Amino acid sequence: MRPTALITGASRGLGSAIARELAAGHNLLLGARKEDALKEILTEIEDAKPFPADLTDHAAVAEAVKGIDRLDVLVHNAGVADLGTVADTPAEVWRNTMEANVIAVAELTRLLLPALRKAGGHVVLINSGAGLRANAGWGPYAASKFALRAFGDALRLEEPKIRVTSIHPGRIATDMQRAIVEGEGGTFDADQFLSPETVARAVHAAIDTAPDGHPTEIVLRPTAR
């Protein structure tokens, strides 16, 4: 029986790259807020199924997971990156960032724990270099990623039959990164960043680690060019 993987934020960027990377060996559930956003990737991966839900709407998420009684892989890729200095960032941005990047992850994981336990599953958290070091102007995002790392550490200890891997990539050449660079006043150059495919292969390698190994953290940085 082919393993089943649920990937959040799968409509574009890193999420769709992870979907392509895992497609050959997994039955895929691909997450996005709206099913329409998944049209392109679902056309490309014909046997994949949509998992449409606003992950910050906990009632909707509880409804969406009904019927998932076994899950081998859960990849938490969805998230937001609202940047700004502490002086210029209001409470709403902090709250929304934590809601999307931490609380939504915790709740979806909690709801799917019975299915993950049944499969002896694997939770992959797409974190960030910002989850290891906070830089000026990145306070809310870094705080959420530090919290996400703590969540993964706690989950790993509480659920010894489930593997939990935190992936900490440097900047990735995605549309989100383009917006960040332009917001910083820079010029986007994809060659200066990790490709989504490189990070997706790291996710696949973690999942394919032999059962006697537990890949707890993977840190990736762009190669100096």
Whether the per-residue pLDDT at 131 is higher than 70: the answer is yes
Query: Is 118 among the domain residues?
Result: yes
Whether the per-residue pLDDT at 225 is higher than 60: the answer is no
Query: Is 120 among the domain residues?
Result: yes
Residues with Cβ within 8 Å of 147's Cβ and at least 6 positions away in sequence, in order, are 98, 101, 102
Question: Per-residue confidence at 172, pLDDT binned at 50, 70, 90?
Answer: confident
Question: Per-residue confidence at 224, pLDDT binned at 50, 70, 90?
Answer: low
pLDDT at 186: 72
From 51, 141, 146, 193, active-site residue: 141
Q: pLDDT tens across 48-65, in order?
A: 999 999 999 999 999 999
Query: Is 72 among the domain residues?
Result: yes
Query: Is 128 among the domain residues?
Result: yes
Measured torsion, CA atoms of residues 35, 107, 140, 122, in degrees rounded to the nearest 10: -80
Whether the per-residue pLDDT at 171 is higher than 90: the answer is no
Residue-range definition of the domain harbouring residue 32? 4-220
**Structural contact between residues 51 and 73, judged by C-beta atoms closer than 8 angstroms:** no
Catalytic residue list contains 119: no
Q: Looking at residues 18-34, what average pLDDT do you find? A: 98
Query: Is 225 among the domain residues?
Result: no
Question: Per-residue confidence at 176, pLDDT binned at 50, 70, 90?
Answer: confident
In the three-class reduction of DSSP (H, G, I as helix; E, B as strand; rest coil), residue 124 is classed as strand
Whether the per-residue pLDDT at 173 is higher than 80: the answer is no
Query: Is 137 among the domain residues?
Result: yes
- Write phi, then psi, for 102 (nearest 5 degrees): -130, -60
Whether the per-residue pLDDT at 206 is higher than 80: the answer is yes
Helix-helix angle 104-119:139-158, to 10 degrees:
30
- As for how many domains the chain has, the answer is 1
Q: pLDDT tens across 107-129, in order?
A: 999 999 999 999 999 999 999 99
Q: What CATH number is attached to the domain comprising 207?
A: 3.40.50.720
pLDDT at 223: 87
What's the pTM value of the predicted model, to 2 decimals?
0.94
pLDDT at 178: 65
Question: What are the helix (H) ranges across 159-194?
Answer: 175-183
pLDDT at 183: 62
